[in-house]
Each structure stands twice: as structure tokens, then as C-alpha cells.
Amino acid sequence: MAGLQAIICGMINWRSLVAALAAIATLFCAALDAAAQSYPQRPVRLIVPAPAFGLVPQSGAPEEFGAWAAQERQRWTRVVKQSGAKAE
């Protein structure tokens, strides 16, 4: 009630009152608009860093790794022999 009496008695400037009410109305409208939007409005794109040198860590038994290493050694031995590359 004291606020209303202050307005009536002229203690508060009418321009200040109108500006304050306009600011409150603007904030209220912005809050309603923000609350009405669904999140997210567009697809979310996750950026995942690439592993170093294209290697992807995997788990497995040592026997599996040994079999893979033997297979790779056979494959690259054949490639090196076909290319005629020599160690210097």
C-alpha cells in the first residue's frame, strides 16, 4: 500500500514507473517464449576426437593379439617381397 501512496503523492516519477513496467513485461514475455520452446530445436551433433594414428583401443586375450600379429606379419612379408624392398 505504501508503494501506491508514493505513486499518488508523486514521489515516484511516472516515466520510471512506465519504464519499469515495460522492462518487467519484456522479461515476462521472453521467459514465456523460452519456456515454450522444446529442447533441442535442431539435431545435436557430438564431436568426438579421433584416436591417435587411427588406432582404436580394444580389449582381448593375449592369444588373440598373437594370432593377429602373426597374420599381419604374413601379410606384410608377402607385400615386402613382392615390392622388392630391401633394408639398407
Note the pLDDT of residue 2: 63
Note the pLDDT of residue 70: 95
Report cis status (omega within 30 of 0) of the bond before 62: no
Point out the residues of the chain with pLDDT beneath 50. Answer: none
Note the pLDDT of residue 76: 92
Q: What pTM value is reported for the model?
A: 0.34
Note the pLDDT of residue 26: 82
**Cell triple for 1:** 500500500
In tens, the pLDDT along 51-69 reads 667 677 777 888 998 999 9
Q: 3-class DSSP state for residue 38? A: coil
Note the pLDDT of residue 36: 57
Helices (H) and strands (E) in the chain, counts: 3, 0
Report the alpha-carbon distance of residue 9 to residue 6 in Å, rounded. Answer: 5
With contact defined as beta carbons under 8 Å apart, do 7 and 17 qualify?
yes
Measured CA distances, 67 to 26, 61, 70 (Å): 69, 10, 5
Note the pLDDT of residue 67: 93
